[in-house]
Structure 1
Amino acid sequence: MKKIFTLFFLNLAFLGLAQQTLSVNAIPAGYYNTATGTGYTLKTQLFNIINDHTDRGYSGLYTTYLTSDVDNYYENNGTMLDMYTEKPTGSECEYVYGGGLQDDGTLGNAECDRYNREHLIPQSVFGQNNFPMYSDAHFVVPSDKYVNAQRGDLPFSKVNTPNATYSNGSKRGSNLNSGYSAGYVGTVFEPIDEFKGDIARMLLYFATRYEDQVASWSYTMFNGTSTQVFTNQALNVLLTWNAQDPVSQREIDRNNAIYARQNNRNPYIDNNNYVTQVWGLPLSNPTFSDLNSVAVYPNPTTDIINIQSEVTLEEIEIITINGQVLQQIKQPVLNDNTYTISNLPKGFYFIKLANASQSVTKKVLVN
């Protein structure tokens, strides 16, 4: 979401992508004290912090929404804030909580008929009535019933040619198989720019909160691991949206309200630097392959670069921004699923990782 208040300041670093930590008074003292690692180690530390939250039940979501999803930012009139129908600069269909339009099993054949609950990771992925994910307000949001059904189980990505556009500009259609969304052919759902970062951070929360189960779930956006979790294509979309749409006051307030109910937080809202510390930076011109488990961290770094891979690499190339091959490491030594590179001069590099038939390119900054 865009900035509505100016109580917090975001400094963008590294080509405008890395975001500063937001200071939020509602974070309990010491809440993130054990989040000291990098890469997937950090993600596991965050999992241990936000795990075992209080489950308020599926019906309890509507109670949570009374404080977590109220429009105090646009029309500022206390109506339901729905990311699929909200028009940040104009009037829109509005729902009043308790106003008789909550889903009762009828209507929903057009926008503005009914509102219900939208699982941003579809409930079919983990099974209906499988708690606590079924009722986790950090990624289950209030939504127009019709648009919710129109999105269905579709992955989030950049639409090329829409086959449907909804009242606030959200759309459904074929994926734009180029640029940051390259690597997927199929139908996708794209929210408006105002909420792309919000949704990205909710999905990254899901990947972290359910790290101990996600590898067993099948979904178009998932790669079958508990580490990276997302396919390269899906991850690049989420990292790009996270960078393009910084954390907003609305997200901070929502995080605080859900914490008051569930007793856990979305760490990627509290400290947006965690996103790049776990997953790295998005690729502006990605090269996708089946090397889905590869992660490069920390990024940015001041010295050591770790390359965590469940696949044996045959070659690692360190390439400068000018295209010069600085290092070419053939048959690199793998220790505990990790390759290590050190003593690189300060600068911006492309790291090309390859085996016999596949390759993937990562970006890294050495400060």
Structure 2
Amino acid sequence: MKRIINALFIIVAAGVFAQAGAPAAYYNGFNWNLTGNALKTALTTKITDTDVVDISYSDLWTILKFTDLNPQNSAQVLLMYGYENGTDGMAFNDRARDKNNDGGGAGQWNREHVYAQSVGTPDLGQSGPGADPHMLRPCDVTQNSARGNRKFASGSGNAGTTGQNWYPGDEWKGDVARIIMYMYLRYGDQCLPVNIGAGSTIASDSNMPQIFLQWNAEDPVSPFEDQRNTYIQVTAPASLRQGNRNPFIDNPVLATLIWGGPVAENRWPNLFLSTETRTLDEATAIYPNPAKENYVYVNASIDLETIEVININGQLVQRIARPTEVNDTYQIQNLTKGFYLVKLTANGQTTTKKLLVN
């Protein structure tokens, strides 16, 4: 969410701004040495185990009036996909509206499923994934209808259709990306990103469209997103407190560590070194590991010069010079079952990683 927001959210400041240097207490004990699918799986466990209150669809009318408060006017909520200050006479494009003007009529706001309910596998319904406050956002009724269940696709400027698809707007595209990635981790195959995002997918995960990694990197987290995240986890009344967090709001670089792609904002510099200062070992990961097929991926935020695969007998079975990368991801193919050492070289550094192919 690029738009500059001047107000500080005093009620959640202690919980939010501590994250500028290190993870919040929510993550105490988490293993931050993981990358790739291992990190994805561990975060899935974390956000699932801490999802302790079942939010009803009707509860969202109350919750959204707190999570989505306009930081410049506490009588209003911000509207997803909105971009105008309400002076042009066209209500559908308003960026904010009276928080109590909710309902189903023109000029009101209602509950937008950022991950469209009907494209879930199965349909998300109106409980569980269909009532998760991390995903539901206030939206003008007409704008919500215009978006419908269109897939998100690349664009620029304000929200609107792009061909048969939908661009959420420059202000909201990062919010959308982080919501979709959260839903994928939390609900798995029921909320595949490829069902709601258009365009090519990344090499390491055919379920993840590249556009979401791009938007996550281009549009940094705003205090508004932090406000939502903390309210849902800890600030809401106990009966409305879901208890979990969206990790990609806490630190967008987690998406980079899982899927590669453009390097996103790192909000925990005390934990994750920048790509310029990370060692080769820290900047690379092999997945899946163990592998079930005859190929694996190497994710690297540093351009690799060589990849060498050595079998258990010490024999060099593959050497790839100047390997081709796609979104910071390389592929090693034609592997037979066995144990290997994979030697990676870049910028005068060398690291060796263990690999098992089942």
Relative to the length of structure 2, the TM-score reads: 0.66
1:211 to 188, 194, 204: 188
Distance in 2 separating the partners of 1:340 and 1:6: 52
Identity of aligned pairs, percent? 28
Q: Deviations over 1:68-103 (max 9, x none)?
A: 001114xx353111122243798863421224x422
2:219 to 236, 241, 245: 245
Q: Deviations over 1:145-200 (max 9, x none)?
A: 1111111111111149xxxxxxx9211022xxxxxxxxxxxx21112211111111
Between the two proteins, the alignment pairs up a number of residues equal to: 284
What's 2:266 paired with? none
Segment of structure 1 superposing worse, 249-258 or 119-128: 119-128
1:171 matched to 2:160? The reply is yes
1:78 matched to 2:72? The reply is no
What's 1:164 paired with? none
Name the aligned partner's letter for residue 335 of structure 2: V
Alpha carbon RMSD of aligned pairs, Å? Answer: 4.2
Name the aligned partner's letter for residue 144 of structure 2: N
C-alpha change, 1:327 and 1:49, in structure 2 (3 Å) is closer
Matching of residues 111-126 of structure 1 within 5 Å = 113-124=107-118, 125=120, 126=122
Partner of 1:158, secondary structure, is coil
C-alpha change, 1:29 and 1:158, in structure 2 (3 Å) is closer
C-alpha change, 1:315 and 1:80, in structure 2 (3 Å) is closer
Asked if 2 retains the 8 angstrom alpha-carbon contact of 1:43 and 1:278, the reply is yes
Unaligned runs of 5+ in 2: 9-17, 235-240, 264-274, 306-319, 325-330, 350-358
What's 2:231 paired with? 257
Asked if 1 retains the 8 angstrom alpha-carbon contact of 2:287 and 2:297, the reply is no
Matching of residues 210-289 of structure 1 within 5 Å = 210-211=187-188, 213-214=190-191, 219=195, 221=197, 228=205, 230-231=207-208, 234=209, 236-260=210-234, 261-282=241-262
Asked if 2 retains the 8 angstrom alpha-carbon contact of 1:44 and 1:211, the reply is no
Distance in 1 separating the partners of 2:111 and 2:7: 30
Distance in 1 separating the partners of 2:279 and 2:345: 10
Name the aligned partner's letter for residue 103 of structure 2: Q
1:133 to 114, 129, 133: 129
C-alpha change, 1:5 and 1:34, in structure 2 (3 Å) is farther
Distance in 1 separating the partners of 2:97 and 2:70: 10
Partner of 1:246, secondary structure, is coil
C-alpha change, 1:149 and 1:330, in structure 2 (3 Å) is closer
Distance in 1 separating the partners of 2:336 and 2:170: 41
Matching of residues 252-331 of structure 1 within 5 Å = 252-260=226-234, 261-282=241-262, 302-303=280-281, 304-308=284-288, 312-313=294-295, 325-326=321-322
Name the aligned partner's letter for residue 102 of structure 1: G
Name the aligned partner's letter for residue 219 of structure 1: N
Partner of 2:205, secondary structure, is coil
Cα deviation for residue 330 of structure 1 reads 8.0
Higher helix share: 2
Distance in 1 separating the partners of 2:296 and 2:43: 32
What's 2:12 paired with? none
1:27 matched to 2:12? The reply is no
Name the aligned partner's letter for residue 121 of structure 1: Y
2:39 to 32, 38, 42: 42
Cα deviation for residue 269 of structure 1 reads 1.1
Partner of 1:78, secondary structure, is strand
Distance in 1 separating the partners of 2:216 and 2:279: 20
What's 2:62 paired with? 63
Asked if 2 retains the 8 angstrom alpha-carbon contact of 1:305 and 1:340, the reply is no
Name the aligned partner's letter for residue 280 of structure 2: T
Name the aligned partner's letter for residue 37 of structure 2: Y
Name the aligned partner's letter for residue 188 of structure 1: N
Distance in 2 separating the partners of 1:249 and 1:59: 26
Asked if 2 retains the 8 angstrom alpha-carbon contact of 1:102 and 1:116, the reply is yes
C-alpha change, 1:315 and 1:281, in structure 2 (3 Å) is closer
Structure index of larger Rg = 2
C-alpha change, 1:341 and 1:87, in structure 2 (3 Å) is farther
Asked if 2 retains the 8 angstrom alpha-carbon contact of 1:35 and 1:45, the reply is no
Q: Deviations over 1:265-293 (max 9, x none)?
A: 0001112221101111149xxxxxxxxxx
Q: Deviations over 1:308-337 (max 9, x none)?
A: 377645999x99699x9535998542569x
